C-alpha cells in the first residue's frame, strides 16, 4: 500500500468534486486548451484526453501553463491505450511516462486502466500514486457482466477512485450497475456507469446510487465513449448536481426514444415545482426488459410511448375504467405497495385542445391511424358524442378499432368524398425527418387539422392545411396536455404548463435550426468533395 493514498483521497474529497466531469479532446495542445478554456468557467471538472493528442509528452508544458491559470478547477489526465479503447498507440511504459509528466505538470488526478496497472511493476505504480491521485479504470466495451468479480481484481491495486464502465445491452444492465455501485460505494470512492445507448440512464442513476461523478461530452461529435450525453443536458435537463439518493425517478419508455422531448419537458416541470425528481428516457427494446427494471430502479412513474401502450395494459395491477375501455395506457404509477396502476392521459391530450375550440357533441371527426393514440382519440371522442370516422393503412386493424369504439370505418378512397369538422393525424407520418403527409390535399375537406405529430412543429400536413386556409391545432398542445396530466397524477401538484410549453417550443426551434444547418452543410460538403477531386486527365 502506498503511504500517501489517503492524503490524495482526502485532498481530492476536500475539493468536493462536481458531479460532472467533461471530457475534452483535441489533436494538439492549443486546440485542447481552447476547448477547455471555453468550458472551464461553468464546468470546473475536466478530463483532458491526452491520448487524442498527436504528441502528448511535448504538449504537457503548455497544458501545465493552462492548469496554473485555473487553480479553481480539477483536471484528470487520461492517456488510454488503443487496446483499451483509447487513442494512444504507445506502450504501457510510454503511457506511464505521459501520466508521470502529467502529475509533475500539476494534474491532481490521472486515469490508469486496470490492464496498464496490471502490466506495471509494483514500484512504478507506487511511484505514480505517490505523485498524483489515481482513477483506476476498467472498461468493458461489450457487456455488463461479472462486475463484482472484475472489481475484485481492481481492488488489489490502491487507487483514489475506482471507475467501472461497462456496456449496457439492455435496460436491466443499468440496474446491475446501480446495485454494484450501491454495494461498493460505502467502502470505496466509486465511479460507475454503462456505455451505449441502452446505458444512457446509468449516467444519472449511477450518481444517484453513489457514483462520485459521471462524464459528459462538451458538444455533439466530441463524445469520448458510446452513449455519452452532452454535459449541458446532464447539467440543465437532468440537474445532475442535485441528484441524490432521495431523488425520485420517473421516465418515458419506448422504442425508439432518442427523439422524445418528454425528458426536457418533464424535468423542467419538476425543476419549476421544486420536486426532487429526475425523468429519464428509457430505451426499452422489449416490455419484458422494461418491467424487470421498473421495480428495481425503482421508478415512481412512467410515461409509455410507441410501441408499448397496448401491451402495457396487461402488465398493470390496476387501471382506471377509461384505460381499460381504451385498452391503451400511457401513464403508469408505481404505488407505495409496489403495484403498477395505469392511466391514459392521451385522452385529455386530444380532448382538451379540441374542447378549447369546439363543442364536440355532433362534431364530425376523422381519425387517421389505429394505434395507441388513435384508440384514445376514438373512445374519447365517442364518449363526448362526436360523430367519429376512422381510416388506417392496415384496414383490418382500423376496422377492428372502429368496431370496438363503435365508430365508422372509412376506406381510404372514401375519405376525399366526405366532409369533416376535424381531421386528426394519429400516425407517425410527418415525424422527425419523415417529410410525408398521411393525407393528400384533396382529402382535407375539414375546418380543423389536428396533427398529433409534435416534432417537427410544422409538418407537410400542417403546411398543406395552412395553405388551404384551414385551422391547425399543433401536436405540441396534445404533448403538453398529456404531460401535464401525468405530472399531476404523479405529484398531486398543478402542472406548470406555460413552462412546459416554453421548453418544448424552444427545443423544437433548436432542433429545426440544427436540421437546417445540417441541410446547408450537406451540399457544401458535396461541393467541396467534388472540387477536391483531381481533374480528369485529358
Ligand atoms: P402506434 O401505436 O405505433 O400506431 C401507429 C399508427 O400509425 C398505426 O395505425 C399505423 O398503421 C399507422 N402508421 C404507421 N406508419 C404509417 C405510414 N407510413 N403510413 C400510414 N400509416 C402509418 O403509435 P401511437 O402511439 O398511436 O402514436 C402515433 C403517433 O401519434 C406518433 O407517431 C406521434 O407522432 C403521435 N403522438 C403524439 C403525441 C403528442 O403528445 N402530441 C403523443 C403520442 C403520440 P398500421 O396499423 O398500418 O401499422
The CATH number assigned to the domain holding 490 equals 3.40.50.10860
Q: What amino acid positions are annotated as catalytic residues?
A: 309
Give 229's DSSP letter. Answer: P
> Is the pLDDT reported for residue 513 higher than 80?
yes
Check whether residue 491 and residue 459 sit in a common domain.
no
Q: Decide: 247 and 277 in contact? Cβ < 8 Å.
A: yes
> What sign does the dihedral 413-418-419-422 (CA atoms) show?
negative
Paired residues of 283 in beta bridges: 254
Its pTM stands at 0.89
Taking the CA of residue 393 as reference, the ligand 1 atom at the shortest distance is 47
Q: Residue 63 is part of a domain; what is its CATH number?
A: 3.20.20.70
Check whether residue 173 and residue 218 sit in a common domain.
yes
Check whether residue 462 and residue 487 sit in a common domain.
no
The reply to whether ligand 1 has any atom less than 6 angstroms from the CB of 249 is no
Paired residues of 253 in beta bridges: 282, 304
- Protein residue with least CA distance to atom 18, ligand 1: 429
The reply to whether ligand 1 has any atom less than 6 angstroms from the CB of 394 is yes
> What sign does the dihedral 437-441-442-445 (CA atoms) show?
positive
pLDDT of residue 1: 35
Distance 428 CA to ligand 1 centre (A): 4
* Interval 456-503: pLDDT, tens: 999 999 999 999 999 999 999 999 999 999 999 999 999 999 999 999
Measure the CA–CA gap between 214 and 219, rounded to whole angstroms.
16
Q: Decide: 82 and 52 in contact? Cβ < 8 Å.
A: no
* Interval 106-134: pLDDT, tens: 999 999 999 999 999 999 999 999 999 99
The reply to whether ligand 1 has any atom less than 6 angstroms from the CB of 216 is no
The reply to whether ligand 1 has any atom less than 6 angstroms from the CB of 308 is no
pLDDT of residue 336: 87
Check whether residue 182 and residue 260 sit in a common domain.
no
Number of helical (H) and strand (E) elements in the chain, helices listed first: 20, 20
Whether residue 516 is contained in a domain is answered as no
- The contacts of residue 409 (CB under 8 Å, 6+ apart) are 389, 390, 391, 395, 398, 399, 402, 403
Taking the CA of residue 372 as reference, the ligand 1 atom at the shortest distance is 26
Measure the CA–CA gap between 281 and 302, rounded to whole angstroms.
10
295 confidence band (pLDDT: 50, 70, 90): confident
Give the residue among 475, 459, 496 at the shortest CA–CA distance from 260. 475
Check whether residue 226 and residue 275 sit in a common domain.
no
> Is the pLDDT reported for residue 301 higher than 80?
yes
Q: What are phi and psi of 156, to 5 degrees?
A: -70, -20
525 confidence band (pLDDT: 50, 70, 90): low
* Interval 424-438: pLDDT, tens: 999 999 998 899 999
Check whether residue 421 and residue 278 sit in a common domain.
no
The reply to whether ligand 1 has any atom less than 6 angstroms from the CB of 316 is no
The reply to whether ligand 1 has any atom less than 6 angstroms from the CB of 485 is no
* Interval 239-288: pLDDT, tens: 999 999 999 999 999 998 988 999 999 999 999 999 999 999 999 999 99
296 confidence band (pLDDT: 50, 70, 90): confident
Check whether residue 100 and residue 217 sit in a common domain.
yes
Check whether residue 437 and residue 505 sit in a common domain.
no
Measure the CA–CA gap between 421 and 384, rounded to whole angstroms.
15
Query: Mean pLDDT over residues 300-329, rounded?
Result: 94
Among 259, 265, 306, which residue has the most ligand 1 atoms within 8 Å of its CB, making it the best to mutate?
A: 306
Domain closes at, from 210, 245, 280: 245
Domain closes at, from 245, 266, 294: 245
Check whether residue 340 and residue 352 sit in a common domain.
no
Work out how many domains the chain is built from and give that number: 3
Q: Decide: 483 and 427 in contact? Cβ < 8 Å.
A: no
Distance 373 CA to ligand 1 centre (A): 7
Q: Computed over its alpha carbons, how large is the radius of gyration of the chain?
A: 27
3 confidence band (pLDDT: 50, 70, 90): very low
Whole-number Cα distances in Å, 525 to 220, 511, 514, 530, 531: 18, 21, 16, 9, 10
Whether residue 232 is contained in a domain is answered as yes
Domain of residue 58, residue span: 5-245
- Protein residue with least CA distance to atom 42, ligand 1: 479
Taking the CA of residue 434 as reference, the ligand 1 atom at the shortest distance is 18
Whether residue 97 is contained in a domain is answered as yes
Whole-number Cα distances in Å, 184 to 133, 137, 180, 209, 459: 19, 15, 6, 10, 50
Whether residue 413 is contained in a domain is answered as yes
Check whether residue 308 and residue 365 sit in a common domain.
no
The reply to whether ligand 1 has any atom less than 6 angstroms from the CB of 349 is yes
The reply to whether ligand 1 has any atom less than 6 angstroms from the CB of 453 is yes
Domain closes at, from 245, 271, 290: 245
Among 399, 426, 457, 461, which residue has the most ligand 1 atoms within 8 Å of its CB, making it the best to mutate?
A: 426
Give the residue among 226, 232, 294, 237 at the shortest CA–CA distance from 265. 237
Q: How many CB atoms lie within 10 A of CB 93?
A: 12
Amino acid at each position: 500500500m502506498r503511504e500517501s493514498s489517503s492524503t490524495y483521497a482526502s485532498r481530492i474529497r476536500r475539493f468536493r468534486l462536481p458531479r460532472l466531469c467533461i471530457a475534452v479532446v483535441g489533436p494538439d495542445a492549443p486546440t485542447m486548451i481552447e476547448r477547455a478554456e471555453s468550458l472551464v468557467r461553468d464546468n470546473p471538472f475536466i478530463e483532458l484526453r491526452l491520448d487524442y493528442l498527436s504528441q502528448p509528452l511535448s504538449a504537457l508544458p503548455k497544458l501545465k501553463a493552462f492548469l496554473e491559470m485555473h487553480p479553481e478547477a480539477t483536471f484528470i489526465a487520461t492517456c488510454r491505450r488503443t487496446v483499451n479503447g483509447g487513442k494512444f498507440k504507445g506502450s504501457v511504459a510510454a503511457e506511464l511516462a505521459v501520466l508521470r509528466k502529467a502529475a509533475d505538470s500539476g494534474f491532481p488526478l490521472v486515469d490508469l486502466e486496470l490492464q496498464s496497472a496490471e502490466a506495471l511493476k509494483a514500484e512504478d505504480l507506487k511511484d505514480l500514486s505517490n505523485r498524483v491521485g489515481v482513477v483506476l479504470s476498467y472498461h468493458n466495451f461489450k457487456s455488463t457482466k461479472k462486475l463484482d468479480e472484475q472489481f475484485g481484481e481492481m481492488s488489489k491495486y490502491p487507487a483514489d477512485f475506482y471507475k467501472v464502465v461497462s456496456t449496457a445491452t439492455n435496460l436491466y444492465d443499468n440496474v446491475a450497475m446501480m446495485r454494484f455501485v450501491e454495494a461498493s460505494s460505502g467502502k470505496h470512492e466509486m465511479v460507475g456507469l454503462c456505455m451505449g445507448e441502452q446505458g444512457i440512464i446509468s449516467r444519472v442513476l449511477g450518481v444517484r446510487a453513489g457514483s462520485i461523478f459521471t462524464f459528459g461530452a462538451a458538444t455533439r461529435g466530441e463524445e469520448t465513449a458510446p452513449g455519452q450525453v452532452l454535459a449541458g443536458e446532464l447539467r440543465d435537463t437532468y440537474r445532475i448536481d442535485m441528484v441524490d439518493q432521495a431523488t425520485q425517478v420517473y421516465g418515458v419508455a419506448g422504442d425508439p426514444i432518442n427523439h422524445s422531448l418528454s425528458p426536457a419537458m418533464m424535468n423542467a416541470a419538476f425543476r419549476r415545482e421544486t420536486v426532487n425528481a429526475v425523468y429519464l428516457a428509457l430505451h426499452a427494446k422489449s416490455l419484458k426488459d422494461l418491467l424487470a427494471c421498473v421495480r428495481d430502479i425503482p421508478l415512481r412513474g412512467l410515461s409509455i410511448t410507441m410501441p408499448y401502450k397496448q401491451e402495457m395494459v396487461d402488465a398493470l395491477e390496476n387501471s382506471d375504467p377509461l384505460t381499460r375501455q381504451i385498452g391503451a395506457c400511457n401513464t403508469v404509477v408505481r404505488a407505495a405497495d409496489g403495484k403498477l396502476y395505469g392511466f391514459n392521459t392521451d385522452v385529455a391530450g386530444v380532448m382538451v385542445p379540441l374542447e378549447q375550440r369546439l363543442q364536440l357533441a355532433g362534431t364530425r371527426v376523422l381519425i387517421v391511424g389505429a394505434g395507441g393514440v388513435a384508440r384514445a382519440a376514438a373512445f374519447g371522442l365517442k364518449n363526448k358524442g362526436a360523430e367519429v370516422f376512422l381510416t388506417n393503412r392496415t384496414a383490418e386493424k382500423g376496422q377492428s378499432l372502429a368496431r370496438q369504439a363503435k365508430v365508422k370505418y372509412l376506406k381510404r378512397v372514401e375519405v376525399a368524398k366526405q366532409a369533416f369538422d376535424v381531421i386528426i393525424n394519429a400516425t407517425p407520418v410527418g415525424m422527425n425527418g419523415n417529410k410525408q403527409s398521411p393525407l393528400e390535399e384533396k382529402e382535407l375537406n375539414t375546418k380543423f387539422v389536428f396533427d398529433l405529430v409534435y416534432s417537427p412543429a410544422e409538418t407537410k400536413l400542417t403546411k398543406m392545411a395552412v395553405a388551404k386556409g384551414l385551422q391547425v391545432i399543433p401536436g405540441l398542445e396534445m404533448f403538453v396536455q398529456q404531460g401535464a396530466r401525468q405530472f399531476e397524477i404523479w405529484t398531486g401538484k398543478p402542472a406548470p404548463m406555460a413552462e412546459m410549453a416554453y421548453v418544448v417550443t424552444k427545443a423544437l426551434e433548436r432542433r429545426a435550426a440544427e436540421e437546417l444547418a445540417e441541410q446547408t452543410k450537406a451540399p457544401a460538403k458535396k461541393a467541396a468533395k467534388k472540387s477536391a477531386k483531381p481533374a480528369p486527365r485529358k
